[in-house]
C-alpha cells in the first residue's frame, strides 16, 4: 500500500529547561539541566522538573482555574505548534483538525487534590467540586485544546504510560494517512509532578531518584544512578501530509518514515530487552532503512538501575554492527517527563538535522559498564558529518514499547 508521506511542520513545547525548541536545544547543547526540589504533600522535599511557561499567553485566568495543569500545558504547546507551523489557523477548517495527545496517566492530580480538600471538611462529599469529572475524564488535556482553539475535529488522549508521546504521534500519522483529518496536533503532556502518588509509588518501588544536588539526581547510565526524577512538560507537533504541506509552502521540520509499538507481555514494571529490541528493529524495517542508516538513537533510559541496563542490552543486540550510529539521552537535563517524554526528547534532537551535532548525555561521572554503549555521547556535544535519520525510543510500564524513525527532509 502506498501511504501518504507525513511530515512535521510545527513544534510547541515546554520543558523544565526551555519553553521553545530553540531554548530547549540551546540548553541541551550547553549542558544546562534544570531540576529543583519541590515540597511534596505528605512526602517533603523531592527532586522534580518544573516548567515555567506563560500560561496566560493562551488562556484566561478563569480557564486556568477551571481546567487542569495537563490541559494548560497542552494548550500552550498546541498553540505554539500552530504558530510555528505558520498555517492560516483562523481560516483553516476546524472540522479537519485532529488532536491526539499522549498521557502516562490522567486524573490522579485532581482526585488527590479533592480528597485533600474534603479532608478539611471531615470528608463531607458536599464539598467535592463539580469540576472533578470534566477535569478527570481521560480525554481532558486534548479536550481542553479543542475548547480553547475551537477545533471541531476528533480529539482524544492516548494512555500509553511513558511511551505516550510517541503513541500520540503514531496516532496522528495513521489518522492523516487514512485522511480522517488534514492537520493533526499530536504529542504528549505530563502534569505528574502535581501528584504525590506517582512520587510515593516510585519511592515504594525503590525507583525514585535522590541526590544532594537536584540537577544531578537524574543520571541515566551513571553507575550511581538510583531512580527517576518525575517532571512535568509537554511537546505537541503539527503534522500534515507532505503534499498538503508543500502546497501551502510550509517549512518542513522532519518526516516520520517509520514506527513500531509492541508489548513485552512479561512484567508490570520490569522492561523486556528482547521486546524492546524487536520494537526498534521493526520500526527501522517499517521505514525501509538498514539499521546502519540510523545516525542517532534517542534512548528512553530513565536512570533506574535495572531499566537502563535493559535498554542498553536491547540496543547492543540490534545495533552492534552500526559503527556510525550515535546514542544519547535527555533525562539528565529534564528528568522524566512521563507522557511527554517521547515527544519532548525527540524535539531536543530534531535540530541535529541541521546543526549536525549530537547533544550529550549529562551527569555521567562514572559510566556503568553495563551501559557502556559504543558511541554513547557523554557530557560534551559531538559534531558529526551529518544526521539524516533519528530513532526515538520511548517505553513504559506494563511493557509498552514504542520507536519512531524520523528523516531529515531534503527538498
Binding residues for other proteins (CB under 8 A): 60-62, 65-66, 121, 126-127, 129-131
Residue 2 or 125 with smaller CB distance to other proteins = 125
Residue 129 or 224 with smaller CB distance to other proteins = 129
Residue 41 or 131 with smaller CB distance to other proteins = 131
Q: What is the CA radius of gyration of the chain?
A: 20
Question: At closest approach, how far in Å is the CB of 127 from other proteins?
Answer: 6
Residue 65 or 91 with smaller CB distance to other proteins = 65
Residue 62 or 91 with smaller CB distance to other proteins = 62
Question: At closest approach, how far in Å is the CB of 67 from other proteins?
Answer: 12
Closest by Cα among 26, 70, 81, 76 to 54 = 76
132: left (phi over 0), alpha (psi -120 to 50) or beta: alpha
Question: At closest approach, how far in Å is the CB of 119 from other proteins?
Answer: 13
Residue 72 or 276 with smaller CB distance to other proteins = 72
Rounded Cα distance between 349 and 327, Å, is 11
Strands (E), 104-166: 155-159
Question: At closest approach, how far in Å is the CB of 66 from other proteins?
Answer: 7
Question: At closest approach, how far in Å is the CB of 180 from other proteins?
Answer: 31
Closest by Cα among 313, 4, 9 to 177 = 4
> Residue 212, class by beta-carbon neighbours within 10 Å (0-12 exposed, 13-18 middle, 19+ buried)?
exposed
Handedness of CA 134, 135, 138, 144 (dihedral sign): positive
Contacts of 201 (CB under 8 A, 6+ apart): none
Residue 60 or 379 with smaller CB distance to other proteins = 60
Q: Angle, nearest 10°, between helix axes 341-349 and 164-177?
A: 80
Question: At closest approach, how far in Å is the CB of 77 from other proteins?
Answer: 22
Question: At closest approach, how far in Å is the CB of 133 from other proteins?
Answer: 11
Residue 91 or 120 with smaller CB distance to other proteins = 120
Rounded Cα distance between 266 and 269, Å, is 9
Q: Which helix (H) or strand (E) holds 297?
A: strand 296-298
Here the cell at position 90 is: 483562523
Closest by Cα among 323, 327, 347 to 337 = 347
Question: At closest approach, how far in Å is the CB of 134 from other proteins?
Answer: 8
Closest by Cα among 296, 311, 324 to 402 = 311
Question: At closest approach, how far in Å is the CB of 139 from other proteins?
Answer: 18
Residue 130 or 383 with smaller CB distance to other proteins = 130
Residue 91 or 130 with smaller CB distance to other proteins = 130
Q: Do 33 and 363 form a contact (C-beta atoms < 8 A)? A: yes
Rounded Cα distance between 96 and 3, Å, is 19
Q: Do 311 and 276 form a contact (C-beta atoms < 8 A)? A: yes
Phi, psi of 20 (to 5 degrees): -150, 160
Question: At closest approach, how far in Å is the CB of 63 from other proteins?
Answer: 9
* Largest interatomic CA distance in the chain: 65
Amino acid at each position: 500500500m502506498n501511504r501518504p508521506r507525513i511530515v512535521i511542520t510545527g513544534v510547541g513545547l515546554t520543558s523544565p529547561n526551555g519553553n521553545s525548541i530553540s531554548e530547549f536545544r540551546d540548553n541541551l547543547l550547553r549542558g544546562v539541566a534544570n531540576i529543583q526540589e519541590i515540597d511534596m504533600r505528605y512526602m517533603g522535599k523531592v527532586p522534580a522538573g518544573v516548567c515555567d511557561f506563560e500560561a496566560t499567553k493562551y488562556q484566561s485566568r478563569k480557564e486556568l482555574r477551571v481546567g487542569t495543569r495537563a490541559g494548560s500545558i497542552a494548550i500552550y504547546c498546541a498553540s505554539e505548534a500552530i504558530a510555528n507551523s505558520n498555517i492560516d489557523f483562523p481560516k483553516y477548517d476546524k472540522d479537519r483538525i485532529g488532536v491526539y495527545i499522549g498521557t502516562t496517566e490522567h486524573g490522579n492530580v485532581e482526585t488527590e487534590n479533592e480528597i485533600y480538600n474534603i479532608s478539611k471538611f471531615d470528608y463531607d462529599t458536599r464539598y467535592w467540586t463539580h469540576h472533578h469529572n470534566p477535569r478527570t475524564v481521560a480525554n481532558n488535556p486534548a479536550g481542553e485544546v479543542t475548547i480553547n482553539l475551537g477545533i471541531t475535529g476528533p480529539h482524544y488522549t492516548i494512555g500509553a504510560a511513558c511511551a505516550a508521546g510517541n503513541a500520540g504521534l503514531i496516532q496522528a500519522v495513521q489518522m492523516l494517512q487514512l485522511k480522517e483529518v488534514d492537520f493533526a496536533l499530536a504529542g504528549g503532556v505530563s502534569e505528574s509532578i502535581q501528584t504525590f502518588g506517582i512520587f510515593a509509588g516510585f519511592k515504594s518501588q525503590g525507583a525514585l531518584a535522590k541526590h544532594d544536588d537536584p540537577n544531578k539526581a537524574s543520571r541515566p547510565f551513571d553507575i550511581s544512578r538510583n531512580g527517576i526524577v518525575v517532571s512535568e512538560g509537554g511537546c505537541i507537533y503539527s503534522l500534515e501530509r507532505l503534499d498538503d504541506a508543500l502546497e501551502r509552502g510550509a517549512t518542513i521540520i522532519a518526516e516520520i518514515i517509520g514506527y513500531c509499538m509492541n508489548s513485552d507481555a512479561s512484567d508490570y514494571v520490569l522492561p523486556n530487552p528482547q521486546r524492546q529490541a524487536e520494537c526498534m528493529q521493526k520500526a527501522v524495517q517499517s521505514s525501509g532503512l538498514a539499521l546502519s542508516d540510523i545516525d542517532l538513537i534517542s534512548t528512553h533510559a530513565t536512570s533506574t538501575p535495572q531499566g537502563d541496563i535493559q535498554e542498553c542490552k536491547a540496543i547492543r543486540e540490534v545495533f552492534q554492527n552500526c559503527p556510525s550510529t550515535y546514542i544519547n539521552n535527555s533525562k539528565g537535563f529534564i528528568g522524566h517527563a512521563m507522557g511527554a517524554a517521547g515527544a519532548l526528547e525527540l524535539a531536543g534532537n530534531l535540530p541535529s538535522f541541521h546543526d549536525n551535532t549530537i547533544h550529550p548525555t549529562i551527569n555521567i561521572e562514572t559510566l556503568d559498564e553495563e551501559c557502556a554503549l559504543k558511541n554513547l555521547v557523554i557530557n560534551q556535544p559531538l559534531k558529526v558529518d551529518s544526521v539524516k535519520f533519528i530513532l526515538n525510543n520511548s517505553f513504559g510500564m506494563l511493557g509498552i514499547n514504542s520507536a519512531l524513525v524520523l528523516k531529515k527532509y531534503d527538498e
